Structure 1
Amino acid sequence: MQEKHQDLLYSLHDKPNAVACLTAAFQHMLASFIGVITPTLIISATLGLTEHTAYLICMALFVSGVGTFIQTKKIGPVGSGLVAIQGTSFAFISALLLAGMKVKNEGGSSEEILSLLFGLTLAGAVVEVVFSLFVTQLKRIITPLTTGIVITAIGLSLINVGMTDLAGGFNAESFASLDNLGLGVSVLLIIVFLNASNNHWVRLSAIFVGMTVGTGYVWVTKGLDFSHLTTLPAIAIPQPFAFGISFDITLFLPIALIYLFTAIETAGDLTANSLFCKEPVSGPLYLSRIKGGILGDGLNSMIAGAFNTFPNTTFGQNNGVIQLTGIASRKVGFFVAGMFVFVGLFPAVGGVLQAIPKPVLGGATLVMFAMVAVGGLKLLASYALDRRSSLITACALGMSIGVMMVPSALSQLPTWLENVLLSPVTSAGLTAIILDLTLPSAPQTTPQEASESAPKTQGEV
């Protein structure tokens, strides 16, 4: 047992003190905060919803807190019982923008756009809820091979986000400047070297210290911009269906399909989470967690649609925090949930966190995202990679990386199919599942047949 948990400071059912919980929870929140609010920022800016942006961000954070509590607590059959942080999913951005643009081009108001987007969010969540009921019967699909591939693809796709932030952030004027690169790499190195320490408190606070040092350096040398705080309301009150609800069946299919594929992504995230927590990645307990986690995702997305935000999913980047800090305790998940709810109710708190320089955030998240990919590779390494499974892995990861590098290769596909396959995780997962179901398995050979088929030495010949 000691050897099994030697990489963990606190395992799943341990109860660290409040200081350890707060430190770890804060790092979880920092790792996922930008991911939670970024889809809302993109959708709001693209569709011209700027007058509602502050409220939409608050609701995204509030629902993330509620969803994280449900996933961690495991209420009846709902939830995984792991520290599975919930957040707004990037996978739905293209499909939601397509729906919003249709309303906007028809002369619809901001409220009408949001009404449709939240209606689609609610309806699509039902698909994931129904899918979760049958997931334990899909053992042929959710295997160590397919989930290992999906976890690796999740890590690889997140690395792109981390590297972009390290260089200064998307469309930044100073993108790739030596100052940004130097700052980001310095934060990364601080985290790596602190994490290598044998002192568990140093290891626990590695991410926090790295980001604090990086942010402090920028504050002293260049200053931080807090001007956006003046435009934020003092408090945001969650109001169900604040913009009404509407539905369009023609725009529903892409949303429904993406819900199915994000469920597979969630299975991969929860497998990685179990792996890092030293919990089983096969058997009844594992399948129960996968089923409960996907059901939790679906119900949390229904809550998201009701409380004026976009589809939620289990975040993969927090698995890297568990790996780096060595804290897998569910108690930390409750602290994270409380922090998100608090930040969602008081916009100024979130506004302060938004001021963290992108290179600092990128330096911290890059190593965490890479650790997620390494977790997937570890799972694949535990699987007997014969010629068949090696081909499946190569094709799936090739499709995933190919979509990331050349997204325009899908531009001639129907829009709904392009929106689905543009997700590297979806492309990898679909490829792995289809090949695993259709590619013939290697015939089983007896020891005698294996001996007869083995190459003979010159003396034997």
Structure 2
Amino acid sequence: MHAPPPNPDIPLRAGVMTADQARDPDHFPGLAVAVPLGIQHVLAMFVSNLTPAIIVAGAAGFGFGSPDSSALIYMIQMAMLFAGVATLIQTIGVGPAGARLPLVQGTSFAFLPVMIPIVAGQGVTAMAQLTTAAICGGLFHIGVSFFIGRIRFALPPMVTGLVVLMIGLSLMRVGVQYAAGGVSAQGTPAYGAGISWMLAGIVVFTTLGLSFFGRGIWSIASVLLGLAAGYAAAALLGRVSLAPVGSAPWFMLPSPFHFGFALSASAILGFVLMGFISAIESIGAVSAICENGAGRPASDRELIGATCADGMGTAIAGVFGAMPNTSFSQNVGLIAITGIMSRHIVTIGALLLIACGLAPKVGALVTTIPIEVLGGGVIVMFGMVASAALSILSGVDWTQRNMLIFGVALSIGIGLELEPDAVSHLPDTLRIVLTSGVLPAALIAVVLNLLVPDRTAQPLAAPPGVPT
């Protein structure tokens, strides 16, 4: 696959760099180009990076407006700080860890279906189980990275597409709940009020408008700008209070085991199993960057380094009370748009994330976003996750065998998530893992794909009367 021509919007015509330099990960284009593009990378992933921490805190019961909102501010800070740290591991490298490519790391959505059932209604104390599981899962992930080439056969596009689809589908309910006023408002007259949906709608339509008709940074940062529009509307309506920002300190260092240390078999098992999916996500990101940006396939060292950095970033984040990390696909697309492969640009973005992560006032400002405004952004993001899954699945050969495997896995995964009481008699560890939706669907698809022989040579024909 040949690399696309460099984007004419970047200053190649001014002689800043040649096309070969633009495809070279080790080339530094100078601060005049690197700083704005590094900021652009941060803007592209900023909201997605913070959202998982906000969702987990809300599920646990210490979300926006709760007495324990200081814990939420800490989680937001750690999401920024350790996204930056994990990104530096990828771009600069630490021993075998790091692809030394322009990979941006951020908090992973993939683990949310596992984390939410564990912390649901349990308060801040439940966070110790998650962060401890992140450490264990990250260490396991590091070990798996050295064998990643041998297990890729077990995760074809049908399986990975199913997993990504399950992640998107399982989280769409969260977006609607937020847009309607938040879980805490359920059962009250305020839940589902017109003003809530108006604020969420402003975010959705602003994001869509900028994505479709904007250019450059206006399109790339459309979700962030959509949230800004919703935030401004909420402020005009008197629904924003900046009191948390005034009381937050200017500087804060992370604290080891901030939420404590607690072993949970269900959490550790869930993190270990989802680590395989995260590893495959990173392989896809590395392959896309190398093929589309550098015009060559990814090397084994780059694949191993990327997945090893995933595990190392997750383990380090867990030590300091942060969520697991993975590579962000939206930044892979950004590299294709700019045509510049320099890892040093992403390094500058990582340093900016670290600086934000050390300033609690940034996290406090995020907590002032009304839940309905955040809901509008979440609806867009989780919809895009499901759309990405359909893109992956479009390349699958839909034989009768594949359709049956996919259908059974999808049916059981969604069914158990919608009706968790169906496995209420199982031990807690198995119950939590099975009701996550993602893990049972993935396990069923992997096992059936390995065991069931492919005896259908042609794709399944459409039933009579169904248009093809």
TM-score, length-scaled by structure 1:
0.76
* Alpha-carbon displacement from aligned partner over 1:226-250 (angstroms, at most 9, x marks no partner): 2223443332123445687x675xx
Using the alignment, how far apart are the partners of 2:134 and 2:87 within structure 1? Answer: 18
* 2:281 is the alignment partner of 1:259: no
* 2:375 is the alignment partner of 1:362: yes
Match in the other structure for 1:70: 89
- The 3 A distance-change label for structure 1 pair 242 and 385 is closer
Moved more, 64-73 or 407-416: 64-73
Using the alignment, how far apart are the partners of 1:160 and 1:378 within structure 2? Answer: 22
Residues 151 and 269, structure 1, Cα contact 8 Å, conserved in 2:
no
- Deviation of 1:352 after TM superposition, in Å, equals 0.6
Alignment of 1:98-247 (within 5 A): 121-172=134-185, 174-197=190-213, 199-240=215-256
Match in the other structure for 2:315: 302
- Deviation of 1:95 after TM superposition, in Å, equals 8.0
3-state secondary structure, aligned to 1:340:
helix
Using the alignment, how far apart are the partners of 2:35 and 2:448 within structure 1? Answer: 47
Match in the other structure for 2:16: none
Using the alignment, how far apart are the partners of 2:414 and 2:98 within structure 1? Answer: 31
- The 3 A distance-change label for structure 1 pair 221 and 36 is same
Alignment RMSD: 4.1
Using the alignment, how far apart are the partners of 1:334 and 1:126 within structure 2? Answer: 24
Aligned partner letter, 1:77: P
- Deviation of 1:218 after TM superposition, in Å, equals 1.1
Aligned partner letter, 2:378: T
Match in the other structure for 2:43: 26
Residues 138 and 314, structure 2, Cα contact 8 Å, conserved in 1:
yes
Match in the other structure for 2:106: 86
Using the alignment, how far apart are the partners of 2:172 and 2:220 within structure 1? Answer: 22
Residues 129 and 298, structure 1, Cα contact 8 Å, conserved in 2:
yes
- The 3 A distance-change label for structure 1 pair 146 and 278 is farther
- Deviation of 1:278 after TM superposition, in Å, equals 8.4
- Deviation of 1:420 after TM superposition, in Å, equals 1.5
* 2:360 is the alignment partner of 1:347: yes
Aligned partner letter, 1:362: G
Using the alignment, how far apart are the partners of 1:179 and 1:84 within structure 2? Answer: 36
Residues 87 and 105, structure 2, Cα contact 8 Å, conserved in 1:
yes
Residues 56 and 112, structure 2, Cα contact 8 Å, conserved in 1:
yes
3-state secondary structure, aligned to 2:183:
coil
Moved more, 351-360 or 265-274: 265-274
Match in the other structure for 1:408: 421
Can you give the 5+ residue segments of structure 2 that lack an aligned partner in the other structure?
Answer: 11-21, 462-468
- Deviation of 1:195 after TM superposition, in Å, equals 1.4
Number of matched pairs: 427
Match in the other structure for 1:458: none
Residues 9 and 326, structure 1, Cα contact 8 Å, conserved in 2:
no
* 2:392 is the alignment partner of 1:379: yes
Q: Percent identity?
A: 24
- The 3 A distance-change label for structure 1 pair 117 and 266 is closer
Aligned partner letter, 1:193: G
Match in the other structure for 1:459: none
* Alpha-carbon displacement from aligned partner over 1:400-458 (angstroms, at most 9, x marks no partner): 3323432333322211011212223222211210110112211669xxxx9xxx9xxxx
Using the alignment, how far apart are the partners of 1:268 and 1:327 within structure 2? Answer: 23
- Find the partner of 1:319 among 301, 319, 329: 329
Using the alignment, how far apart are the partners of 1:186 and 1:417 within structure 2? Answer: 41
Residues 9 and 327, structure 1, Cα contact 8 Å, conserved in 2:
no
* 2:445 is the alignment partner of 1:425: no
Aligned partner letter, 1:380: L
Aligned partner letter, 2:50: F
- The 3 A distance-change label for structure 1 pair 364 and 40 is closer
Match in the other structure for 2:282: 270
- Deviation of 1:141 after TM superposition, in Å, equals 0.9
Using the alignment, how far apart are the partners of 2:133 and 2:437 within structure 1? Answer: 23
- The 3 A distance-change label for structure 1 pair 302 and 29 is same
- Deviation of 1:326 after TM superposition, in Å, equals 6.7
Residues 152 and 377, structure 1, Cα contact 8 Å, conserved in 2:
yes
Match in the other structure for 1:441: 454
Using the alignment, how far apart are the partners of 1:430 and 1:73 within structure 2? Answer: 35
- Deviation of 1:219 after TM superposition, in Å, equals 0.8
Aligned partner letter, 1:377: L
- Deviation of 1:63 after TM superposition, in Å, equals 2.3
Residues 236 and 345, structure 1, Cα contact 8 Å, conserved in 2:
yes
Using the alignment, how far apart are the partners of 2:241 and 2:335 within structure 1? Answer: 30
Residues 42 and 353, structure 2, Cα contact 8 Å, conserved in 1:
no
Residues 283 and 307, structure 2, Cα contact 8 Å, conserved in 1:
no
Residues 128 and 263, structure 1, Cα contact 8 Å, conserved in 2:
yes
3-state secondary structure, aligned to 2:385:
helix
Using the alignment, how far apart are the partners of 2:242 and 2:229 within structure 1? Answer: 18
Using the alignment, how far apart are the partners of 2:40 and 2:428 within structure 1? Answer: 44
* Alpha-carbon displacement from aligned partner over 1:261-301 (angstroms, at most 9, x marks no partner): 21133135336646875847xx9728765543432232123
Using the alignment, how far apart are the partners of 2:213 and 2:70 within structure 1? Answer: 47
3-state secondary structure, aligned to 2:426:
coil
Using the alignment, how far apart are the partners of 2:129 and 2:165 within structure 1? Answer: 34
- Deviation of 1:96 after TM superposition, in Å, equals 6.1
